[in-house]
Amino acid sequence: MLSTKKTTVGRALAVLGSSLALLTTVGTGSASAHGAISDPPARHFGCYERWAANWQSPQMATEDPMCHQAWQADPSAMWNWNGLLRDGVGGNHRAAVPDGQLCSGGMTFNGRYAALDTPGPWKTVNRPSSFTMNLRDHSSHGADYIRVYVTRQGFDPKTQRLRWSDLELVNEVRNIPTGTTTPIAVTAPGRSGHHVVYTVWQASHADQSYYFCSDVNFTG
C-alpha cells in the first residue's frame, strides 16, 4: 500500500513539474517576446488563448479537435505562441517555407509547429470581406513589411494543406513601428466560408521572419 501511494505521489509530482516547466517557458518567452497575429488569432495563439488554463482537459478533443491534436503533438508550440519564426531567410520565403508547411513556418524549430499544417475543422472567426487584423508585438520589433494573403475561393482548409499557389496577396504595409497591437487592413472580396489568412511579418530588428495562419469564416 505504501509503495502504491509513493508511486501515485511521484506521478503527481512529475506532472506538476512538467506543468511548471511549461509555464516557465511561457514566462521566459514573454520576457523576450516576439509576437503573433492575435485577431483573427493565428492557429497556435487561438489554441493558447482557449486552452492554456485547461490544456489537459479531455473536453478539448470534442470541442476543439484541431487544437487537441496540436496540444498532443507538441504543447510547446502553444506555450511559445510568440516564437513561430525563422532567422536568415533573406526575403526568400518560398524557398524557406515549402508548400504544405506554410503554417509551421517550414517546420521551423525541428517541427515544433508541424501540427498547425494539418487540415481540418480549425476554429474560425466571422469576418466581412473588409476587416482590420491585429498583430501583437510585445517587443516592438517593428516591421520592414507585413504581407497579408488570403486563400482563393475554392480552397478547402478542412482537406487541403496550404500552398503558395492557393494564396492571393491582398495587402502589404512597409516600414511600420509596430507596438503592442498593430492594426492592418484586410480586404478580400469574392470569398465566402472558411478561408486561411496567411501573414508574413518581416521584423525590423534583424533578418527574422514570422509566419501565421489564421482561420476566418467570410460572411459575404
Q: Where are the domains of the chain?
A: 33-218
pLDDT given at position 204: 87
- Write down the pLDDT at residue 33: 52
CATH of the structural domain 33-218, one choice from 2.70.50.50, 3.40.50.1820, 2.60.40.420, 2.40.50.140: 2.70.50.50
- Dihedral angle at the C-alpha atoms of 117, 114, 92, 135, nearest 10 degrees? 70
CB atoms within 10 A of CB 8: 10
Residue of higher predicted confidence among 140 and 34: 34
Phi, psi of 132 (to 5 degrees): -110, 125
> Given pLDDT bands bounded at 50, 70 and 90, which one contains residue 68?
very high
Residue 114's pLDDT band (cuts 50, 70, 90) = very high
Tell me the percentage of the chain whose pLDDT exceeds 90.
75
SS (H, E, C) the chain: CHHHHHHHHHHHHHHHHHHHHHHHHHHHHHHCCCEEEEECEEHHHHHHHHHHHHCCCCCHHHHCHHHHHHHHHCCHHHHCCCCCEEECCCCCHHHHCCCCCCCCCCCHHHHCCHHHHCCCCCCCEEECCEEEEEEEECCCCCEEEEEEEEECCCCCCCCCCCCHHHEEEEEEEEEECCCCCEEEEEECCCCCEEEEEEEEEEECCCCEEEEEEEEEEECC
pLDDT at 148: 98
Give pLDDT, residue 106.
98
Q: What is the pLDDT of residues 3-40, one digit of tens each?
A: 444 444 344 333 333 443 343 333 333 334 589 999 99
pLDDT at 49: 96
- Name the pairing type of β-strands 143-151 and 85-87: unpaired
What pLDDT score was predicted for residue 178? 73
Who wins on pLDDT, 220 or 204?
204
Distance (Å, whole) CA 39 – CA 57: 24
- Return the C-alpha cell found at 64: 476543439
**How confident is the model at residue 92, as a pLDDT?**
97
pLDDT digits (tens, 9 = 90+) for 145-203: 999 999 999 999 999 999 999 999 999 999 988 777 889 999 999 999 999 999 999 99
Whole-prediction pTM: 0.85
